[in-house]
Amino acid sequence: MSVFNAQSLISQLENEVQQTVANVQELLKLENAMLNKQPAFGKWSIAQIIEHLNSYNRYYLPEIKTALQKGLDEHIAYQEQYSSGWFGDYFTKMMQPKEGGKIANKMNAPKDHQPVAELDARKVLNEFIARQTDLLQYLQQAHQTSMAKLRVPISISKFIKLKLGDTFRFLIAHQQRHFVQVNNTLQVIAPQTVA
């Protein structure tokens, strides 16, 4: 288990989300064709990667909102110190990119989180930015209640619940992991699309 100053953890997560939004705003400068170009057969395009993240946000953000509302409604007090749960800490660390942006464990996405091949790339990226705005709002609300006492069911099993703080950590680590994939994809497709 990891122990954090709750304020510092929330600030760190907010900074990571803001950096992610800045990265997506840069991606919006690319043409749709580039955003939908797969780097190799069977590999995801940038639009597919972001749509995969959108699918997680569609599940987790309403669950986070519900947990936060419960905390506010029930006056569950904010705690200065946050101790992660064993399960949440394990999954977050497994998901996080390693030093130098390396991905240690390759994973297959669950079937319901696999994107289709052709997407409206601009719509996908704009949805992602909108959901990151929601995520930043929820991180702000986390200052008003306990990230340790509130629980969020995970997407693959509603019976397994993570602490709210671990849910934030996992969701943002998952995004960071896939932005390594976005950068790797850009390195492959950019030379092929430059005139």
pTM for the model:
0.91
Per residue in 4-57, pLDDT tens? 999 999 999 999 999 999 999 999 999 999 999 999 998 999 999 999 999 999
- CATH superfamily of this structure's domain 3-193: dinb family like domain (1.20.120.450)
pLDDT of residue 107: 62
Looking at this protein, which amino acid is placed at residue 122?
R
SS (H, E, C) the chain: CCEEEHHHHHHHHHHHHHHHHHHHHHHCCCCHHHHCCCCCCCCCCHHHHHHHHHHHHHHHHHHHHHHHHHHHHCCCCCCCEEECCHHHHHHHHHHCCEHHHECCCCCCCCHHHCCCCCCCHHHHHHHHHHHHHHHHHHHHHHHHCCCCCCEEEECCEEEEEEEHHHHHHHHHHHHHHHHHHHHHHHHHHHHHHCC
**Domains in the chain: boundaries:** 3-193
Q: Which of 155, 111, 147 is nearest to 4 (CA)?
A: 147
Question: Is 96 exposed, middle or buried, given 0-12, 13-18 or 19+ CB atoms closer than 10 A?
Answer: middle
Mean per-residue pLDDT for 66-81? Answer: 96
Per residue in 121-134, pLDDT tens? 999 999 999 999 99
Structure token digits, residue 9: 């953890």
Structure token digits, residue 120: 């409206």
Q: Do residues 128 and 120 touch, judged by C-beta distance below 8 A? A: no
Average pLDDT score over the chain: 90
Mean per-residue pLDDT for 93-106? Answer: 76
Distance (Å, whole) CA 71 – CA 100: 37
Would you tell me the crossing angle of helices 164-193 and 6-27 to the nearest 10 degrees? 20
